[in-house]
Amino acid sequence: MAGPAFRAAAVRVRTPATSANLGPGFDAFGLSLGLYDDVVVRVADSGLHVDIAGEGAETLPRDENHLLVRSLRTAFELLGGQPRGLEVVCANRIPHGRGLGSSSAAICAGIVAARAVTIGGDVRLDDVALLELATEIEGHPDNVAACLLGGFTVAWTDGGAARAIRMKPADSIVPVVFVPGSPVLTETARGLLPRNVPHVDAAVNAGRAALLVEALTRRPELLLAATEDRLHQDYRTPAMPQSIALVNRLRADGVPAVISGAGPTVLALVEDGAADKVARLAGEGWAANRLSLDDAGTSVLPLGS
């Protein structure tokens, strides 16, 4: 079987930040946010050149160990073979190690770029296969589903295969993120979770997760009740006490606030008119940002846009 042919022109891929869990939807719910990384990939005659600007520019590897490069390589194998060389330019805006899906953004950028520079790549690697591949690399589908599809996603595995559905959040909802100065490793946050939880807590989370689908898509006035969690957030307090304290303080003031993904970023989902006021509530030590909701997911864009 002949190997793949590659486009001579570079491709530009934009990937959004994401917030997983959203309170009760542990390892299932994801929300795509209007904060983006951009990657330009070009097939070269030989070698590998990686250039990084923005977040992680001082710490990320510029070789085959870069997560985006590893994702490119994995996708190229499924597409039929590796190109002779690669040039990769990254403009990173998503904070690393803060629970905003920076690793999912890198994975999705890599696999979508590989498909885009491969002639006939969308036939060899369709959208269902993209989600399955991204999940295989990441280890769970919640962030990558939202990153690929945009909007509000519910992800699950069926017979070992990743699946997801996408819904449109209510237009009036505005995400406000409170990003602390120091990261928390996802492995650290996950390591604090117990193997078993009380049945009553699991029952509460099931009900709140179901309610959150209605609250996020049609009835934002229910978000405070719908974002209650008993399954994971409190258990993570030793790794991020300031984040849990901020969540509790915001919720006591009636603000629907949760830990974003594995933390330590705090996400508030508020009505448009209250977003600026809420952004001022965190105090020192937090970078508060009012974001938009992303509707597009991972996109291949013209180079000049």
Q: What is the DSSP letter of 303?
A: T
Please list the residues that pair with 258 across neighbouring strands: 267
Q: Is the dihedral of CA 220, 223, 224, 226 positive or negative?
A: positive
Q: Is the pLDDT of residue 94 over 90?
A: yes
Average pLDDT of the chain, as a whole number: 95
Q: Sorting pLDDT into bands at 50, 70 and 90, what band is 305?
A: low
Q: Is the pLDDT of residue 81 over 90?
A: yes
CA 84 vs. chain centroid, Å, equals: 30
Residues near 184 by beta carbon (within 8 Å), at least 6 away in sequence: 97, 98, 99, 239, 240, 262, 263, 264
Q: Which of 159-173, 174-188, 207-221 has the lowest mean pLDDT?
A: 174-188
Q: Is the pLDDT of residue 134 over 60?
A: yes
Reference 43, options 79, 67, 14; nearest CA is 79
pLDDT score, position 2: 67
pLDDT per position as a tens digit, 227-265:
999 999 999 999 999 999 999 999 999 999 999 999 999
Q: Sorting pLDDT into bands at 50, 70 and 90, what band is 283?
A: confident
- What is the pTM assigned to this prediction? 0.95
Q: Sorting pLDDT into bands at 50, 70 and 90, what band is 284?
A: confident
Span 263-276, average pLDDT = 93
Phi-psi category of 39—alpha, beta or left, where left has phi over 0 and alpha has psi -120 to 50?
beta
**Dihedrals φ, ψ of 86, to 5°?**
-140, 140
pLDDT per position as a tens digit, 16-57:
999 999 999 999 999 999 999 999 999 999 999 999 999 999
Q: Is the pLDDT of residue 146 over 70?
A: yes
pLDDT per position as a tens digit, 184-236:
887 887 889 999 999 999 999 999 999 999 999 999 999 999 999 999 999 99
Q: Tell me the C-alpha to C-alpha distance, in Å, between residue 301 and each of 27, 86, 233, 255, 296.
A: 29, 19, 37, 36, 11
Query: 107-142: b or e for each residue (b if 16 or more CB lie within 10 Å)?
Result: bbbbbbbbbbbbeebeeebeeeebbbbbbebbebbb
pLDDT score, position 189: 79
Q: Is the pLDDT of residue 1 over 60?
A: no
Higher pLDDT: 283 or 116? It is 116
Span 160-175, average pLDDT = 96
Percent of the chain with pLDDT over 70: 99
**Contact yes or no for 14/35 (Cβ under 8 A):** no
Percent of the chain with pLDDT over 90: 88
Span 6-16, average pLDDT = 96
